[in-house]
Amino acid sequence: MSIPKPARAPSAAVPIAGSPSAPWYRAVGPLQWKSLAAAEFAWIFDGMDMMLYALVLTTIRSEFQLTSAVAGSIASVGVFASAMGGIMGGYLADRFGRVRTLVYSMLLYSFATGAVTTSHTVSALVFWRAVAGLGLGPVWSAGSALVAETWPSEHRGKVSGLLQGGWAIGYLFAALLAGVLLPLYGWRSVFLAGSAPALFAIWIWRSVPEPELWLHSPRSSNLGAHLRLLFGPVSRERLTIATIICSCTLFAYWGLFTWIPAYLSSPISQGGAGLSIVQSSAWIVPAQIGAFLGYTSFGFLADRFGRRAVFQAFVFTAAVIVPVYGLAARSPIALLILGPLVGCFAHGFFSVFGAMLAELFPSAIRATAQGFAYNTGRAAGAFAPFVIGAAADRYGIGSALAVTSAFFIAGGIMMRFLPETKGEALS
């Protein structure tokens, strides 16, 4: 069955008439909300599918008799593949459209996630996680460009925060799936449920138009010309600094959140908290509620106080809280209290990337630049599960988590070298 082409209705932001004191959400029209819904659905399921492996990691380690380092390496394969997919996806979104790239990415990762259920060897597991990663990677590149180009500049931070909050919702869905399905049907059932996003991809394809800004921007089919613009004198310095920031913070993120489920469910003798799989899923839920609040509050704060200052406040706070959390293994109450704070500050800063990276680059290379910076960061982050896993084998998981603080701090320091982009109109 062929899928109809996406709608081509105008999608530029159309402010609704009203008094200056009207709520901010009345300043945009239905098409802007539809673009957000499309990217949000895609990002929710991206977060869900990406975190499924982390949530069943302890069970997979037991079935395949893996060391922490090897289990971390499998996670690294998925993250690295998503980085490669994201870099390619950014170019495809600039060349062929934000919506089209979003839809095909969702179809690919839905299929591959379901196919993980056929894995009975480590090599098969690695293969399907890699294919899923190739599909997961382009979602952020295409989705963030779609939203940034359809919403007005004064609300771009807010909508970026709302979009990024979809990751926390996806993580919650993954935790609920693992908590319900894993004890009853095993880890394969969890991945089978992760194939559901394909249904939403059809709705996006039929209902969501490409942004007018992209439709009317100059585009070259020559990859060399595209890359010369991307790495030209105007963009090169900004792209380099943004890539370093993404690399530092994504290394910290993947090192921390790949291993938190295993930290909660591992025995105390291994530096873990000694919780059951069901208990650890329950402990993750408050942390992801904190993450959602962090994502959304960051956007409002960034529109009010600027991107740079709010980003630095979040990552420096995360750097302080994470070591405390890693040393609180013997106190379930402390973990429950600290979890939402870790979730808030170690997630919330990501909301800067959808807005700020869009504001740093023109439409012709926007998704490519965003995809390159963010997903090169993902590639660097791909090494984090292995590094933290190797440190966990030697020092215990709780102590190993503290390594990520140094990378949060480095990302915060580098942010001072980028210009403040609050209120920038897109070109």
Please spell the DSSP secondary structure of 332-389, one letter per residue. HHHHHHHHHHHHHHHHHTTHHHHHHHHHHS-GGGHHHHHHHHHHHHHHHHTTHHHHHH
What pLDDT does 10 receive? 44
Contact 210, 99 (CB under 8 A): yes
Contact 342, 290 (CB under 8 A): yes
What pLDDT does 22 receive? 63
Residues of the chain with pLDDT under 50: 1-19
Q: Is 29-210+230-417 a domain of CATH 1.20.1250.20? A: yes
Count H helices, E strands: the chain?
20, 0
Domain range summary for the chain, segments of one domain joined by +: 29-210+230-417
Q: How far apart are CA 380 and CA 254, in angstroms?
A: 10
The structure's pTM equals 0.74
The one-character DSSP state at 417 is G
What pLDDT does 13 receive? 43
What pLDDT does 220 receive? 63
